Chains A and B, each alone.
Chain A
């Protein structure tokens, strides 16, 4: 993604007009936890400002203060130089501040138009809702955004990208002057990100002050002009992005030199641990064959929707398969039985940790022991002490940051949640581990730790299959790279052969034999 040329122009425009929204030295505590120590930010009209930092750095708290969800314990908020007190989300909206969350919260039963205008529906005589005017206005908004969404369809079933469009249309409908986007791209495909960016640029060109939060630094460079870096609840850097590199930002985010984000060690490749033979599921993937050896990390790359997760799910027995076989340590696995796969030594860390990997309301200890209950059982019962010992043991090994093992896992940050999912499986001492998007939505520091952990596991002889949509992660971590396109394997590349171009080439449907040179 190319940097924009008019960045300098926007920069000079900024100096001529004052900031639209200023947050000064805001702090916020929840009980004894200090979520925000010194949050400050200045947003200028016609500019997109990036907010970056590790998970737990206080970004979300800052956003929620701007959204009127949280009231800061100290500090103040200025809109066009005047102090602004927000007593709730409605106040923020009335002040022209719109927040678009990573996963928008819509009303699934209500129409797109009603979602946009809830609480502010245009009224006709007698305070009756003017449904026709509402529909027309939404149609006009959708035309402006260039997105063909039917105003009268229910919000249920909209993709995340479309849900965000509904939120942006909402922001436009009340003429928001400040638009905050909290990790809007985390769940979007490439084309959807491009669409969102063009919408964001339009908003910016119309004079809105945009705050953009993302873990993907390439997006930050593509879209934003200024950046604020937060660490441990404080603003540690604010300035123009021009002249900064990704490394500069990462260094400021973590506050230490990141020697390597991808600490892959060489490991000796052993015997075949998992062999997938001509695996097929009608209409999803076809004829997928590969071997996975002890001690190696195999990356499975491809575009979203290429069928990578589906292959993994079928191999582990969660989904049925129509043809083909799965062999673990020389023994056939029966189809459709995760229990058999687990007994054979397989582990599976799913893509969606909140829905599939964890029971969010259960404690850390309960989650960590969930896959090992059979081993923990003594007689008819499971002792809390055993459970805690297992959890504490793995928490220490994975450097999990937590207050109490009895806290619900939902209280942890994304990176620490992922460590709990990993410890759940590692406690079973698997010989084959499938990890699906192991670092999605977790911060740089935790990412490096997860990578180090995977590398250590391979060093101990575990066979790791890593599905990832992040190409640098695949290239940095994998000993071998498999690429899928529309349900078929299109390439198998060694670490030396695997380059960004080659993987992308295969991921868009060209087999490697066609790669001339």
Chain B
């Protein structure tokens, strides 16, 4: 049984669908714009209350405060896009922070590049554990990384044994990395920006990047398309671990004092930033730029509340409300887009 529908002409349908796709693209791109808008609003309101909020030093501090979490969101985004999650990033950061501190304090004269590499390798090894259990053992990553969150932190405590490493024991070159600037931009901020830019480019324009999205969007289809799903997921975890290892080393450089508790609870801040930044928690869509902006927004709100003399316990409630708002917005936009897309299918008669 069949109905023949008068089909609109090719050109007309084409033209209409082009216009439609433009609208959809704007709606999708709106996320980064939306965050910038909210960010601008927060800064404007706070600056109206206290103009010093806009001084060069204050802006540098805002960026510096956000940079470590923003760095972690880069790795986390890679993992979340594949429909997984890495809860162990805070513990990996802590482990790497203490290890690099210990290494440099114990071997005076060791080039900090060695410590940097050691941090990255340690993080990558931790990520490899997460990735192997998830991809080969087929255990949900939520469970795996919740486990390693405690395991890695436990190792950290065992290693530190209650010790604390102070700035006086650390080489000046390391502390310079934490507080120095290049062309007026703090090193940490520069490193974060470069890493975000490189990752964004790879995710956009390289096959391996697109395959991460494909895996998160439909894991079964990814297998049928011949994508090495296990290998890609494993790689995402290794990269997330490596980034957390790098962040740990930078953490020591920035704060100069390390004990076994560094980075405790960071995983939730990172995931909040990723979600606020528009990365779908069930994978398949989102960008590292959005996630990093999400980190900047959350940390700026934290600083703004201090300036506005809002009691600090409100901060958490506001972050939570923002998170729910962001997810509700995603859902709403998603439904609107889905409806628009279905409509387009019907109208173009195809």
Contact = CB atoms under 8 A, between A and B. Distances in A.
A469 B280 CA distance: 39
Interface string A323-339: 00000000000000000
A121 B13 contact: no
A396 B55 CA distance: 81
Interface in B131-165: none
Interface string A170-198: 00000000000000000001110110000
A129 B18 CA distance: 22
Please report whether the interface of chain B is mostly helix, strand, loop or mixed according to DSSP.
helix
A449 B214 CA distance: 42
A106 B218 contact: yes
Contact of B226 (A119, A157, A194, A469): A119
B318 interface: no
B214 A118 contact: yes
B221 A107 contact: yes
A131 B205 CA distance: 8
Interface stretch (A146-154, A229-237, A256-264): A146-154
Contacts of A162: 345, 350
Given A118-B227, A119-B226, A105 B210 contact: no
B213 A110 contact: yes
Contacts of B344: 150, 153, 157
B225 interface: yes
A89 B17 contact: no
A190 B3 CA distance: 7
A191 B284 contact: no
B217 A88 contact: no
A108 interface: yes
Interface string A136-176: 00000000000111101110111101100100000000000
B348 interface: yes
Contacts of B338: 156-157
Nearest to A486: B3
A422 interface: no
Interface in A291-312: 303-305
Given A89-B223, A119-B211, A127-B206, A152 B21 contact: yes
Given A157-B338, A504-B1, A150 B18 contact: yes
A102 to B, nearest CB: 13
Contacts, number: 130
Interface residues of B, number: 44
Given A128-B205, A303-B3, A150 B21 contact: yes
Given A107-B221, A109-B217, A153-B344, A114 B21 contact: no
A158 B345 CA distance: 6
Nearest to B25: A152
A507 interface: yes
B106 to A, nearest CB: 42
A148 B3 contact: no
B210 A118 contact: yes
Nearest to B1: A190
A148 B350 contact: yes
B17 A153 contact: yes
B345 A159 contact: yes
Given A90-B226, A110-B214, A119-B225, A148 B21 contact: no
A152 B21 CA distance: 7
B218 A119 contact: no
B240 interface: no
Nearest to A191: B2
Contacts of A114: 210, 214
B285 A109 contact: yes
A131 B214 CA distance: 16
Nearest to A123: B207
Nearest to B220: A105
A448 interface: no
Contact of B213 (A105, A109, A119, A156): A109
Contacts of A157: 337-338, 340-342, 344-345
Given A121-B207, A153-B341, A88 B226 contact: yes
A69 interface: yes
A255 to B, nearest CB: 30
Task: Specify which of B18, B218, B222, B344 lies most central, judged by the most chain A CB atoms within 10 Å of its CB.
Answer: B218
A108 B345 contact: no
A471 interface: yes
B4 interface: yes
A93 interface: yes
Contact of B350 (A69, A91, A149, A156): A149
A147 B4 CA distance: 15
Nearest to A509: B3
B227 A110 contact: no
Contacts of B1: 189-190, 303-304, 469, 471, 504, 507
A129 B345 contact: no
B313 interface: no
Interface string A67-87: 101000000000000000000
A129 B17 CA distance: 24
Contacts of A148: 10, 13-14, 17, 348, 350
A210 B299 CA distance: 59
Given A106-B221, A110-B217, A191-B5, 11 more contacts: A107-B284, A119-B211, A119-B225, A129-B207, A148-B14, A150-B21, A157-B340, A161-B350, A165-B350, A190-B1, A304-B1
Interface of B: 1-5, 10, 13-14, 17-18, 20-21, 24-25, 205-207, 210-211, 213-214, 216-218, 220-227, 280, 284-285, 337-338, 340-342, 344-345, 348, 350
| 3 A-B pairs closest in CB distance | A190-B2, A90-B226, A157-B341
17 contacts: A105-B224, A106-B218, A106-B221, A107-B213, A107-B217, A109-B216, A114-B210, A118-B211, A121-B210, A129-B205, A148-B350, A150-B18, A153-B341, A153-B344, A165-B350, A189-B2, A193-B2
